[in-house]
Amino acid sequence: MSETIPQIILSFKPEISIIEDAEKGLILKAPYIDFNLNKLSPGIVAAIKIISTAGATEKALSQLVVATDGSSALAKFYYYLEQFVILGLVYHTLEIDGSAIATAVPIATPYKWQLSETITDNNYQLSRFAYCHSEKSHLVVESPLSKAKIILKDWRSAALINELSQPKAISDLTTIPGISEATARLFISFLLTAELLSSVNNNSSLEQSETLTQWEFHDLLFHSRSRGGRHSNLIGKTFRFLGQIEPTPVLKAKPSNEIINLYKPDIDSLKQTDTPFTAILESRKTIRQHGEKPITVAQLGEFLYRSARLREIVPRDNMDCSNRPYPTGGACYDLEIYTAINRCENIDAGLYYYAPEEHQLCKISGKTKQVEALLKSAGLSVQIEVEPQILILLSSRFSRVNWGYESMAYSLILKHVGILYQTMYLVATAMNLAPSGVGGGNSELFAAAAGCDYFAESSVGEFILGSR
């Protein structure tokens, strides 16, 4: 029995079609661009028609062009084929006996496909940046290093991916039923071309550079998928759930009726008497040590009023928004403020929610073990031995952003955290208080302490405040 010969089939992405226009003639319609095929030779047009239907190998397509137009037309055919590839219009599918096992799908441009060579003596392993997930009934392999994703069409390609989780030689892969050495070699070449594999020689990965070594998997994936350039997903304010899910209200319901009305400063008076902005900006600094006398509830009230009160609700057609002292994307204001209080004059220790419209604190709990753990963790994060006077916890009601924004929602939320940090730093400096941003926190612990659904609302930032 002869060995199965694997091959790579070229085809256009499904949304591309060839139409006969009454005025323009034969047109190749692609997303955002049309190609007029009328001036091309019959052989090239015939090859393009095959790519737009069943697809064929590059060898078969070139043979068709030569047979129809002569060898002189081959260079022009390859020029157009390269342009289609660069524009991300061409899929490459690995087939065995007419059965597809994997398809490389371009997700970013300019795209390049030049089949990589394999080395028999080398071992190969999946890149540490590669990951699998389910997408439209198929298993898909992607990596932030790659401008393509690989759709695994059947169990054989999934089995090969599983084997490549460890360093394997080409010959090692032939133990999988139906996988010949030729198929294993072409599959390795296929993944190398898509930058999903690392070549390993003497247990040393050839993928790593000093730059890549310093990236963690989740950070590079987050960076590449939340900004344009390395994926084909929609990005921006697409209102993707409009008409499907009701938008989250501007204001969160108060968690309790145990309320403290906070002091409201005279903003007009402060405009006249406050320290000049440049002086505040230049003197702003992190102060981790707090004074012996704790911050007062009046100071906390002024700080929250100047930093984060709700000025007004702004009705809009798609989702109501609001106006506050700091800016956010689309005025969606997803951030909520909680105060874990250890020491504050005239207020009991515990966890409180800040209601920005009425400028009130709503008590959630006393100083429970969870609240104490939040305070201690924040203190350790900024290298102070005692619990801070006040820990301000910034949570996000994620759906306020997720509802309208696509691909970039969480990155936008983190920008909001940074904006509010700076606003709080400047207000604290103007008030002669001691501010300190915290680099990280425990979102699971916060959700448990505040009684929130981790996936609906959990902490995304922490900020320590106290007296000087």
Per-residue pLDDT tens digits for 383-392: 888 899 999 9
For 128, 353, 374, 414, 423, the CA distances from 417, given in Å and listed in that order, are: 30, 17, 18, 5, 10
Question: How much is the average pLDDT of 176-196?
Answer: 94
45 contacts 222 by C-beta, under 8 angstroms: no
What's the CA gap between 153 and 140, in Å, rounded?
A: 9
pTM score, whole prediction: 0.91
Give Rg (Cα) of the chain. 30
Same-fold call for 93-225 versus 240-467? no
Best CA proximity match to 420, nearest among 312, 319, 324: 324
- Tokens describing residue 412: 């936008």
Would you state the torsion angle of the CA atoms of residues 69, 71, 76, 78, taken in this order, to the nearest 10 degrees?
A: 110
pLDDT of 1? 38
Count of CB atoms situated within 10 Å of the CB of 390? 28
Pairing of strands 433-438, 457-467: antiparallel
pLDDT tier, 333 (very low <50, low <70, confident <90, very high otherwise): very high
pLDDT tier, 121 (very low <50, low <70, confident <90, very high otherwise): confident
DSSP 98: T
What's the CA gap between 413 and 401, in Å, rounded?
A: 7
Instruction: Tell me the torsion sign for CA atoms 226, 228, 230, 234.
Output: positive
- Sketch the domain layout of the chain as residue ranges: 17-88, 93-225, 240-467
What's the CA gap between 353 and 338, in Å, rounded?
A: 4
Evaluate whether the domain defined by 240-467 bears CATH number 3.10.580.10: no
DSSP 368: -
Q: What does the chain come to in residues?
A: 468
Which residues on neighbouring strands pair with residue 151, listed in sequence order?
103, 140
pLDDT of 203? 53
Question: How much is the average pLDDT of 326-341?
Answer: 97
407 contacts 231 by C-beta, under 8 angstroms: yes
Tell me which CATH code domain 93-225 carries.
3.90.930.70
Q: What is the pLDDT of residues 15-30, one digit of tens each?
A: 999 998 878 888 999 8
